[in-house]
Every structure is written in structure tokens, then in C-alpha cells.
Amino acid sequence: MGIQARTALAALAGAAVVTAGAVIFAGASAAVGPSPDPIVQAAQATCVTDGGGFCTVTHGLGKLPEAIVVSANTPNPYNGFMLNTVQGSFTATTFQVRAMFSQTTPKTYGQIWFSYAAYAAPAPPTTPTMTITPPSSTFPTPTPTPTTPPPTTSADPTPTFATTAPSGGGS
């Protein structure tokens, strides 16, 4: 077998191994997460902080978030700060973030840009309700049916026999 044939054979074998590995990996890599899926809103936001480095952000979950993840996205000359959500500030429509230059120095009266992802638990599945109506305590009274005595027969209890002799001659 020549060098070109061996190279082609090796390339073919390598492609088969890669393909088999991809098929095995694809079958084993199903996404796993909470079930049922949580409600998620991801967005970009901007605001101007107050004198304490706080600003309030409006979200559209419509219910109290369980977690909010924020990531600063401020242009280079203005990005030397840390950004966190404020504990206890989550409501069904808003949350607060705080921007800090250091652990003790807030970023005051400055514009910040950031991305966030807010997560809320889905509404519990609705279970069908069944209403069972107990039986009525009053039952209809049956209409009495007139009773008629059974027909009477005037049969004589003693059987009667014919006593006449047959006609015709006898010898």
C-alpha cells in the first residue's frame, strides 16, 4: 500500500472516530435544569446612581424574583466599580442595584450600564378541581299503585263426571 493510500485510510479512520464520538456526546448531553422551567427575563439597563450609589431597576417578571444576576457593562473610562443587587429590594416590578468603587466608596451620581437576568419560580401547575355533590337528603316518595284483588274463580272443588251411558248398541 502506498503512502497516499495509507494517508487516505488514516484520514477516513480518524473521521469515523470523530463522528462516532460526536454521536455519543450528542446523545449524552441533554440539557438538565429545574422543572418546570423558571420564568426568566434578561435585559440591559442603565441608570444614574443616587448619593449612596443605588438605583432602582424595573423588571417585567410580574412576580417576586428568586434571584437576579447583574453584570456591569459600562464603557472603559467609567467601569472601575463593582455592581451588586441590594438584599431585600426585590419586588414584583423592581429591584435595586448598588455600584461601589471600593468596599467603602459608592459610585455616586454617575451613569452605569449593566445586564441582568431575573429568575422567578413558575406558577404552580393547576390541578383540575372536581366538585362532588352529595346525594340529596330528600328522596321522592313513590306514588302508591292501586291494588286490585286477583280475579276470583268459582270452580267447584269436587269434580263431576258424566253418568250417561254411551249411545249405540252393544252386544
Residue 88 domain-assigned (yes or no): yes
Residue 1 domain-assigned (yes or no): no
| Mean pLDDT to the nearest integer, 64-80 | 84
Residue 11 domain-assigned (yes or no): no
DSSP 87: T
Q: Amino acid letter at 142?
A: P
List, in sequence order, the alpha helices (H) in 2-132.
Answer: 3-28
Of the candidates 39, 103, 98, which has an alpha carbon nearest to the alpha carbon of residue 70?
Answer: 98
Number of domains, the chain: 1
Residue 111 domain-assigned (yes or no): yes
Residue 162 domain-assigned (yes or no): no
- What's the CATH number where 111 sits? 2.60.40.3940
3-state secondary structure of 115: strand
Residue 86 domain-assigned (yes or no): yes
pLDDT tens-digit series, residues 44-69? 999 999 999 999 999 999 999 999 99
Whole domain around residue 108: which residue ranges? 39-119
Q: What is the pLDDT of residue 22?
A: 46
Residue 153 domain-assigned (yes or no): no
pLDDT tens-digit series, residues 150-164? 666 665 555 555 555
For residue 34, pLDDT over 80 is answered with no
